[in-house]
């Protein structure tokens, strides 16, 4: 499942296996094993590296959906209240871009996962 998602996303971005491996700084052969489901249990570190050039969350690679995206689709309403909107606007004013924000979210998720693993 994870390998299939990576392959589909890679092809949608127009990357070859070599290109994605270079962008993610991972082994081309390991990436190929993942995509062909010969290894079905990649590390979180590997997923973090691959998720960035694919512009997708680790959660999506693991589950096939982003929770916030799923909530928006199911609710039909935007979920941000005034405080959230203000925080997002302030972050944009301070120069935080989407990639920085996604990387920060993934870092927080990884730290939570790491803490719960102990």
Residues of the domain holding 42: 2-117
- Average pLDDT over all residues of the chain: 83
Q: Using one digit for the tens of pLDDT, what is the confidence trace for 54-67?
A: 988 888 888 877 65
Query: Quick one: average pLDDT of 111-118?
Result: 79
Give the contacts of 54 (CB within 8 A, at least 6 positions apart): 6, 9, 10, 13, 20
Pick 89 or 118 by higher pLDDT.
Answer: 89
Q: Is the pLDDT assigned to residue 29 strictly greater than 60?
A: yes
Q: Which residues of 65-78 are buried (b: 16+ CB within 10 A; e: fewer)?
A: eeeeeeeeeeeeee
Question: How far is the C-alpha of 40 from the C-alpha of 47, rounded, in Å?
Answer: 12
Query: Quick one: average pLDDT of 80-104?
Result: 82
Give the contacts of 43 (CB within 8 A, at least 6 positions apart): none
Domain count, the chain: 1
- State the pLDDT confidence band at 72, using cuts at 50, 70 and 90: very low
CA atoms 70, 16, 53, 49: torsion sign: positive
What CATH number has the domain bearing residue 77? 1.10.260.40
Tell me the three-class secondary structure of 32-91, residue by residue. Answer: HHHHCCCCCCCCHHHHHHHHHHHCCCHHHHHHCCCHHHHHHHHHCCCCCCHHHHHHHHHH
- State the pLDDT confidence band at 8, using cuts at 50, 70 and 90: very high
Query: Quick one: average pLDDT of 84-109?
Result: 84
């Amino acid at each position: 499942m994870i390998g299939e998602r990576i392959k589909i996303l890679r092809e949608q971005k127009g990357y070859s296996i070599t290109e994605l491996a270079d962008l993610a700084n991972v082994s081309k052969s390991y990436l190929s094993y993942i995509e062909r489901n010969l290894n079905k249990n990649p590390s979180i570190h590997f997923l973090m590296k691959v998720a960035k050039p694919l512009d997708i969350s680790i959660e999506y690679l693991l589950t096939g959906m982003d929770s916030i995206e799923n909530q928006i689709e199911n609710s039909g309403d935007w979920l941000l209240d005034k405080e959230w909107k203000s925080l997002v606007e302030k972050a944009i004013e301070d120069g935080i871009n989407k990639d920085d924000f996604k990387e920060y979210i993934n870092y927080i998720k990884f730290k939570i996962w790491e803490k719960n693993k102990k």
